[in-house]
Amino acid sequence: MGEPPPEQRLFAGLAGDWTLTRDLPDNGSMTGTARFREFEPAVLHYREDGTLVLPGGRSLEVYREYHYRLEEGQIRICFAEPGPPRTFHVLRLPGSHGAADTASDVHLCGDDVYTGEYSFVDEDQFSVRMRVRGPRKDYESRTVYRRADRA
């Protein structure tokens, strides 16, 4: 038997606790935690909780939730909400095991476009760069995740 496909290897490695730092240039920053827990077979529930500090110093407690679904050849990130799964991004990873695994996808939300670039450096760190463009939105964020017990 050979190595598992990259999406299976990556999916298995996400489970657990992570610390996160998010930079939103000109819009603030966030620090917090993210947890990936088994929700059902081949589905991880993702929840992040943190403190968003806005320009000027105002702080807000924030959270976000998704479901990461392992599928053949990909990981589908869906909104954690009742009803049929609604896709946010689909991660299709290259087959190489050398450099960091990377994937990107685009989500259209009305007139807004969410372009995500995911980079999995190793089993203890990954990052997400999100560009959001639309009639009333124009920002970028970069989030760095580090495995909590090794941060």
Helices (H) then strands (E): counts for the chain? 1, 10
Residue-level pLDDT at 2: 75
Q: What pLDDT was estimated at residue 4?
A: 84
**What pLDDT is recorded for position 100?**
62
Cα dihedral sign, 66-129-21-15: positive
What pLDDT, on a 0 to 100 scale, did the predictor assign at position 116? 98
pLDDT tens sequence for the chain (151 residues)? 678 888 999 999 999 999 999 999 999 999 999 999 999 999 999 999 999 999 999 999 999 999 999 999 999 999 999 999 999 999 998 764 445 689 999 999 999 999 999 999 899 999 999 999 999 899 999 999 999 986 5
Tell me the two tokens of residue 12: 């298995």
- What pLDDT sits at residue 1? 61
CA 26 to chain CA mean position, Å: 21
Q: What is the pTM of this model?
A: 0.92
102: its two tokens: 């990377």
Beta bridge partners of 47: 35, 65
